[in-house]
Chain A
């Protein structure tokens, strides 16, 4: 069975601090896809990144970076120099890319960035 675990329920940081959000996944598939979404208070899930199981290259996009390690089944997300606008719930999700592209979400991490 597929599963995504986000052990950090809530994280509070002060602006300009770096913060890492953890994501651990379980799957028996050799081909799978990992995603991160941001959910601000408005409710809409905002797509941040997709990574397939064959691409373990880390990625950096501005202040955001992602560390994918198949050996530990982790796909962690780091925000550098956090800002108040980063405050939101962040979800990690897994898909087997099958017929439905169904996403299995973790329970989310609430990030609060204090000014």
Chain B
């Protein structure tokens, strides 16, 4: 079975631009979460989506948005990119339920110049 897949794997953008990152969850997983991992730090929670609705949001500005599609895939959008947005963006999928384990994709490495 395919794991969580993310695209693209690497991306270079200029300050002020917009970026869209994509994620396909493991088949049968209806919950998708996004995390930002700055170099040398642990991942930070950005969003969680379930059944196309936002179920949780971390401490990130409104420039960050996301959505989930009927097939449970998801997009993360970031507007007006800043240098500080440079990071590894990780998508995770999980089954629904308390404390279920999250399975992560390989991430998208975003560099803002």
Beta-carbon contacts under 8 Å, A16-63 to B: 31-33, 35, 37, 42-47, 50, 52
Q: Any chain B CB within 8 A of the CB of A91?
A: yes
Given A47-B102, A50-B101, A107-B41: A101 and B88 interface contact (C-beta under 8 Å): no
Contact at B56–A100, with CB atoms within 8 Å?
A: yes
Beta-carbon contacts under 8 Å, A81-110 to B: 91, 93, 95, 97-108
Contact at A44–B48, with CB atoms within 8 Å?
A: no
Q: Which B residue's beta carbon lies closest to that of A50? A: B101
For B63-76 the 0/1 string (1 means CB < 8 A from A) is: 00000000000000
Given A52-B99, A100-B55, A103-B102: A44 and B33 interface contact (C-beta under 8 Å): no
Contact at A47–B99, with CB atoms within 8 Å?
A: no
Say which residue of A37, A42, A95 sits within 8 Å of B99 (CB atoms): A95
Q: Which B residues are CB-close (under 8 A) to A98?
A: 98
Q: How many A-B residue pairs have CB under 8 A?
A: 71
Q: Which B residues are CB-close (under 8 A) to A100?
A: 33, 45, 48, 55-56
C-alpha gap A106/B40 in the complex (Å): 11
Say which residue of A37, A45, A101 sits within 8 Å of B31 (CB atoms): A101
Q: Which B residues are CB-close (under 8 A) to A33?
A: 98-99
Q: Which residues of A contact B (CB under 8 A)?
A: 4, 31-33, 35, 37, 42-47, 50, 52, 91, 93, 95, 97-108
